[in-house]
Amino acid sequence: MSKIVADFFIRHALDQTRSTNDIARELAEMGAPEGMLVTARRQTAGRGRRGNAWESTEGNVFLSLVLRPQGSAQVAAQVSFVMANAVRELVAHRIPGVPIQLKWPNDVLCDGKKISGILLEAGAPSDGGIAWLIAGLGINVSTKPASRTDATALHYEGDTRSDADTVIADFCERFLSWYEKWQLDGFEAVRTAWLAHAHGLARPIQIRLPHEIIDAIFDGVDETGALLARLADGSLRKVTGGEVYFGSPG
């Protein structure tokens, strides 16, 4: 690990915890600096997006990073693209030749199957900014959820040599490089790299909002990270929340 990377991350390695996001949040609220990295071999209550559970058996990567980016909550949400770029590179490096795609807002797919997910949680806003950001990351290294046929793991894709610790070290290098680029140069380079591997571009999507369902075509992401949905009348609608389903409705 380079000195710059070693200087940025402070690793708090646990054998087992409920959710590394919970521990990172507690540490952030107690004033932990940016770069505090909580890892666990197992989670007993790992969380995914939309209230889903994240199966967390030993052998995979479960980590949560405390970050303190400047700017609004919307700008901080760009960290999921920063993280996804780092994970995509990591996976592509380990299983060359297998198509790796990024699914809005933050899944990493390997030949169409999910290999990694990201869960961002932000601390209460202050002065328009956020107090802290927890970037939680799961990467399937040796096992995939038994309950899902649309998931995979590095070992299932041919990389049987990687283990959780080597993947974490690799992730730290790649994440810090993208994070520094984002902080210095802004979102554009992150967005361009993400779009180059985006899943479902120009294909149908369905966006389910609390009081509305929108069928549209996925037209990419804008300069802030919002999803661009092209409606039937040709107009573009920006989407920052809701549930987005890729593929034809029904």
Q: To the nearest whole angstrom, how small is the minimum distance from the Cβ of residue 40 to ligand BTN?
A: 8
Segment holding 4, helix H or strand E: helix 3-8
- CB-wise, 80 or 206, nearer to ligand BTN? 80
- CB-wise, 40 or 190, nearer to ligand BTN? 40
Q: Kindly tell me which residue out of 8, 9, 21, 207 binds ligand BTN, with binding defined by CB under 6 A.
A: 21
Q: Kindly tell me which residue out of 35, 69, 105, 136 binds ligand BTN, with binding defined by CB under 6 A.
A: 136
Please tell me whether residue 46 binds ligand BTN under the rule CB under 6 A: yes
Please tell me whether residue 35 binds ligand BTN under the rule CB under 6 A: no
Please tell me whether residue 152 binds ligand BTN under the rule CB under 6 A: no
| CB atoms near residue 161 (< 10 Å) | 9
Q: Which two tokens mark 227?
A: 């999803």
Q: Cβ distance 139 to 151 under 8 Å? A: no
Whether omega for the bond prior to residue 145 falls within 30 degrees of 0, making it cis, is no
DSSP 62-74: EEEEEE--SS-HH
Please tell me whether residue 138 binds ligand BTN under the rule CB under 6 A: yes
Distances (CA, A) of 227 to 5, 114, 207: 31, 20, 10
Please tell me whether residue 80 binds ligand BTN under the rule CB under 6 A: no
Whose CA is closest to 66, among 27, 40, 17, 19?
Answer: 27
| Binding footprint of ligand BTN on the chain (CB under 6 A) | 19-21, 43, 46-49, 52, 54, 62-64, 107, 117-119, 136-138
